[in-house]
Structure 1
Amino acid sequence: MTSPNGGAVRTAATVPHPGAGPAAARPLAIEAVDLVKTYQVKGGSEPVRALDGLSIGVEPGIVFGLLGPNGAGKSTTVKILTTLAAADSGRATVAGRDIAADPALVRRAIGVVAQRSGADPVATGRENLLLQGRLYGMRGAELGRRADELLDRFDLTDAAKRQVKTYSGGMQRRLDVALGLVHRPEVLFLDEPTTGLDPEARTAMWEEIGRLAGDDGLTILLTTHYLEEADRLAARLAIVDRGRIVTEGTPDDLKGELHGDAVHAELVAAPADDALAVYEALGRVPGIREITVDGRRVSARADDGAAAVPAVLAALDQAGSPVAAVTVARPSLDDVYLRYAGRSFADAEGGSR
C-alpha cells in the first residue's frame, strides 16, 4: 500500500461529450501517447521491448478493456499509468494529472487492484479496509462507515472479523476491489482481476464489476486475457499485441467489421510447402476471403459459412491438406484478434513472452 502526497495539478486532453458542443468538452480519464518501455532480461543480450509506442485515450465513466495475451504489455501499461514504473519515453495523464510530473496526485486519484492481493493476510478484512483508508487521510466515523459499506457491498460482512488468510480466492479478490475503492477514486485499475478464480467466483466478479461501472462516473481500466470477459464487461476495448495497440473500438463494432461467418479448419497435418498451396486452393473458392494459415489451423471468412464448407473441404483435400475438423461461427473477438494480429489468440498465449 502506498501513502499519497501532495503536488501540482496538470491538465489532461479533452474529448467532446457525445451530443454536446465544444463548451461541454470533458477531460480524458486516461491518456497515454507513444509509451515505450524496455527491460533488460537477466542473461539476455538484447533488451525486451514490453511497450512499443502504445497509445490509448479513455473517456470518463466507462469500463475500458486492454485485451491481449500474457506478455502483450498490459501489466506494464498499468504499472506506468499507476506510477509504479517509468516509461522510457512517451507521456500520459490519469484523472487530469501528469504521471511523471505529479505522481503523488495521480496516486490520490486512483485505485489499483493488482494481480497479486495487496491485503495483509494476518489482519481481518475490516482491519485491512481501515488501514487503507488511513493511508488516504480518512479517520473516525467516516472511515468506519465506509468500511462497513464496502463489506456489505462485497458480501463480506460475515467475514469482516476473520483473518484474510482464511478467505477463499473469490473472497480475497472481492476484498482487493473493496480496498481499491475505499477513498472513492476517480479511476480504478483492475489488472487481470479474475485470474485464478473458479468459474463461479469469476462470474460473481463480473457481475460486481458491471455494477461498479455505474458508480458516480467511475472509470475502470480492465486488463484481461479472457476474450469473454472483455466482450462482456468493456464498453470499449483496445487489443494489445507485442506492446502495441493493433485495433480499438466497442466489442460489437469490432466484431461487426468482420462481415459474414468465420470458417475454421483443423488440418490433419501442417502444410509442408509453407502453406502456399492452401492459400491458392482456398483463394479459388467463391466467397472465401481473409485466409490465414497458422500451422494446422486454417481460418477464413465467408458470407455464408455453412454453404461454403463443402467447397472448402474439397479444395483443401485437393491441395493435399485433408481436414480433421471444421467449425463455422459468427464473428468473435478471437476473429478480430486474428485479423489484426495475424495469429489466433490461443497461439499468441502459447508464444507470448
Structure 2
Amino acid sequence: VGKFKEFLAEKENNKPYRFVLLWYDDPDDPDEPEKTADKLMEEGKKLGCTGFKVDVDGAYSDITENGTRFIYDKEGKSFRVDEETLVYVRAPVTRRKSWSDLLTQLERENIFCVNSRLCMETTSDKYRTSLILAEHQLNQPKSILIHHQDKALDAFDRFGSKFPLILKTLTGSLGVGVVKIESEESLNATVQLMHKLDNDMGVLMQEYIPATYDVRVQVVAGKIHGAIKRPIVKRDFRSNVSLGSEPVAHTLTKLEEEQVLQAAKAVDGLWVGVDFIPAKDRNKDLPFFIEINATPGTKGYTKATGMNICKDVIKTFMDRAYWLRQKPFESIYGLQN
C-alpha cells in the first residue's frame, strides 16, 4: 500500500486527460459495476479530468465529415475521442464480437485502452491464460482441456492426477462455472450436463489445490496497488466475494510480488486482478496462479483495504508514460493487419 502511494508521489508532469468509461449494466454482477463507474467519474472530475460514461450495450463510434472521431451512447450523446483520450474498459466486451470490435476500432485510431482487446480476450479464456502463463514459466495448477463431451474420462487418464479435481468453463466469472469433482461418475455426468446447457462450452480440467484462502492482487500500470485475502466460503470450496467470502487486507511476500507482476505483464494487463493460491512456504515456494481478471471488482477490495483505487487509477494514468498502446499485429507476409 505504502509503495503505491510513494510511486504516485514521485510522478511529475502529470496532466489531466479526457476519458471514456465503457461499462455494462449487468444485473447479475453483485459488485455493482455502475458504482465503480460512477466513482471513477467522480474521482476523475476531482482531478481535473473530463469523462464520458457510456454503456457498451448500444455504444458505437464514427467519424464526422471533418475527420473527427466520436463515441456515442444508445441515446445519441457523443464524446470526441483522439490520441489524447483514454478509454477505461469496465465492460465484459468479449461477450459480443461487436463490443470487442469497438475496441479494435478505437485501437486502430491509436486510442489508448485500459485494457486492450488482446488483454480482454486472453484473460476471458482460462485455458489461453494458462498457456501464456506457462510460456512465462509461472506456476499453476496442472490443467488439461477436455476436447469432447464424451471424452472426459479419456482426458482424466491423460491428466495423470487424482480426485478431487476442478472443472471450469473456459469463460465465466464470479465463481460461476467452477465445480469440484470427486469421482469418475460425477466427472462424466457433469461434463455432459455442461455441454447440454451450452453445446459450444469449453471445459478445463484442473488439479485441486487444497487451501483455506486465495489472494486477489490489484495491479495498476505494472505496480502492485494492494492485495486482499479471500477466505474459502463456508460449506463451499470457492472464495469469491460474490459468493459470500469476506476479504481482509493482505501483505504479500517479496516472491509473491515479483510473481504477480510477471503474471500481469504476461497478459499485457494495465489494470488487472491477479488471483493465486499461496504456497505453504510463501517466502520460498512459488504461488499457484488460478486466474487473471481484466475488469477486477472494487467493492470487496475497497472495503477490505480502505484504499481509494478509483482515485489512484485515474491519477496513475495522468502520467502519459503509462499510455502503452496496443500495436497492430504484423501478418506472416510482413504487412500490418
Tell me, yes or no, whether TM beats 0.5: no
Quickly name the TM-score band, shorter chain normalised. Answer: under 0.3
Q: Which protein shows a greater Rg?
A: 1
Alignment TM-score, normalising by the size of structure 1: 0.24
